[in-house]
Amino acid sequence: MIILLACIAMLAMGIVMRKLANKIASSALQFSADGMDAVELKEKYGDRLCFEGGVSVQTTLPFGNPKDVQREVKELITALGKNGGYILGPSHAIQAGTPPQNIVAMFDTASSFYPF
């Protein structure tokens, strides 16, 4: 129960991460809330947390082009994929009107760039 509550709180407020991280055994964290820095979170908590999502459904996927999506996917994999513990995906539900070519670019880039 503590783990579930901690994950919900961390998702809503980045500052809570620092206070509750020592209580987390293992979980998946969607890290794109304000105040959360992916690189810092991976360095501090990457041995205890699995990171999930990250490709922006508010900017990059709906309004970017495939090159923007490729760049963001590569940045996320580079920052969070080292030594495992990262599940690439959208930061939230992909909305209607998102260009299909951007969704394809997200998955194609991940499958060709991921280090496995």
Name the one residue in this structure whose structure tokens are 């599940």. Answer: 87
pLDDT lower than 50: segments of the chain: 1, 5-6, 9, 26
Among residues 27, 52, 77, which one ends one of the domains? 52
What pLDDT sits at residue 13? 54
In angstroms, the Cα distances linking 9 to 16, 20, 29, 115 are: 7, 9, 11, 31
Are 28 and 64 within one domain?
A: no
Q: Which domain holds residue 114?
A: 56-116
Are 64 and 10 within one domain?
A: no
Are 95 and 64 within one domain?
A: yes
What pLDDT sits at residue 28? 53
What pLDDT sits at residue 47? 86
Are 23 and 48 within one domain?
A: yes
What pLDDT sits at residue 18? 57
Are 26 and 44 within one domain?
A: yes
